[in-house]
Structure 1
Amino acid sequence: MIGVIGKKVGMTQIFDETGRVVPVTVVQVVPNVVVSKKTAEKDGYNAVVVGVYEKKKSRVTKPYAGQFPEGIAPTRILREFRDFEKEVDVGQSIDASVLDGVRFVDVIAKSKGKGFQGVVKRWGFEGGRATHGSKFHREPGSTGNSTYPHHSFKNIKMPGHMGNERVTVQNLKVVRVDAEKGVVLIRGALPGPRNCDVLIRKSVKKS
């Protein structure tokens, strides 16, 4: 599986070869340093561990620093890609060119946090009548039994924390890869706010 970590810059639009406008999200690919390689003989599976964003020395604990070989500074983010399709060495930097030839990707990021929300905004409940005197406007309604046992049923959609969770959007088309500028243009919208970290990997369902 080919993959890389980048930063979501924002959205824009470009013209394709037929002259049609294509909405794209710009992802700046930061240098991905290969921290270690896992093998089937030693770890039970093959994977490449990459890190981005050098971490402040004052914030690095000894156990955390022990994951990094000599000569490689500890990084703030560590991710691994199983069965990496290209040959890389520890200490090597991976850039946007690793996605050359990849047509479709899956993008993983944390969605925008929206705080505590009610059922109308969180789940799209219709609510009750808006007329005067109905006394039922945006409430969730019944959540359990009226008699024994007195508890709410499992998996009931209720008010709660909305957003700020891991989201994967699959089968997004790669419009352009500019290795010189270190950017990847992906058709459509990506999860997460502007300047958030995104993980781009080769699509597992579409080639």
Structure 2
Amino acid sequence: MIGLVGKKLGITRIFTKDSLSIPVTLIEVLDNFVVQIKSLKTDNYESIQVTTGIKKKNNILKPEKGHFLKYKASVGRGLWEFRCKKVLRFKCGQRITINSFSNVKRVDVTGVSKGKGFSGTVKRWNFRMQDATHGNSLSHRVPGSIGQNQTPGHVFKGKKMSGHLGNTCITIQNLSIIKIDDIKKIMLIKGSIPGYVGSDIVLKPSVKEK
């Protein structure tokens, strides 16, 4: 098992037999197709390149179209790679369905988080605010001192400051699979996952599963 690519549909809740409410995220997992097989002889590493979905003809680039034609595959909405061993067990055009996760209980979910734009340190890093009164003027949400003395005389790399928040690739590990619907091709995962509704999600068997 290498992984699957799906699309986030939204979040809802389901009830157990004990009347417990569980928040779940719905992920649509259409059939994935193997496009390219990379081996040690050709690419110096082993991986499987897959695609899923359909892309509009107007949005297909010529290099992208040529890549799919080379391996005789239909053009999907993107390309994803999964590192794995024993790539010879796969074939170009092979279909990977949601049923391949039928024996998997926990997954690692990767997605691109929602972009929040330029944010200050209070929102971005959870800094505490300064006094609202007691003589404080125009310094309620400022981060405070960021520098050093004359030695070393510069701000260290990685200093928590204002900047772009979100829109980064995030992986949440060890999430439970609540249910898999083979007919509707929907997977229910416990809790929330990164990304907005309609964004692409990468699912892999959890590396921490016991």
TM-score (norm 2): 0.87
- Give the structure 2 partner of residue 196 of structure 1: 199
3-state DSSP of counterpart to 2:173: strand
Tell me, in whole angstroms, the C-alpha distance in 1 between the residues paired with 2:72 and 2:122.
53
Aligned 8 A contact 2:10 2:27 in 1: yes
CA RMSD of the aligned region, Å? Answer: 2.3
3-state DSSP of counterpart to 1:65: helix
CA deviation profile, 1:15-70 (whole Å, cap 9, x unmatched):
23444222111101123221122223433333221012333444444433333235
- Give the structure 1 partner of residue 2 of structure 2: 2
Q: In proportion to residue count, which structure has more strand?
A: 1
Structure-to-structure mapping, 1:93-132, within 5 angstroms: 93-131=95-133
Q: Choose from 146, 154, 158 the match for 1:155.
A: 158
Tell me, in whole angstroms, the C-alpha distance in 2 between the residues paired with 1:70 and 1:201.
25
The offset of 1:150, in angstroms, is: 4.7
Which range moves more in the overlay, 28-37 or 147-156?
A: 147-156
- Give the structure 1 partner of residue 23 of structure 2: 23
Aligned 8 A contact 2:36 2:50 in 1: yes
- Runs of at least 5 residues in structure 2 that lack an aligned partner in the other structure: none
The offset of 1:193, in angstroms, is: 1.3
1:55 aligned partner, one-letter code? K
1:124 aligned partner, one-letter code? N
3-state DSSP of counterpart to 2:64: helix
- Runs of at least 5 residues in structure 1 that lack an aligned partner in the other structure: none
- Give the structure 2 partner of residue 14 of structure 1: 14
The offset of 1:71, in angstroms, is: 3.6
Aligned 8 A contact 1:2 1:85 in 2: no
Tell me, in whole angstroms, the C-alpha distance in 1 between the residues paired with 2:61 and 2:178.
41
Q: How many residues align?
A: 207
- Give the structure 1 partner of residue 181 of structure 2: 178
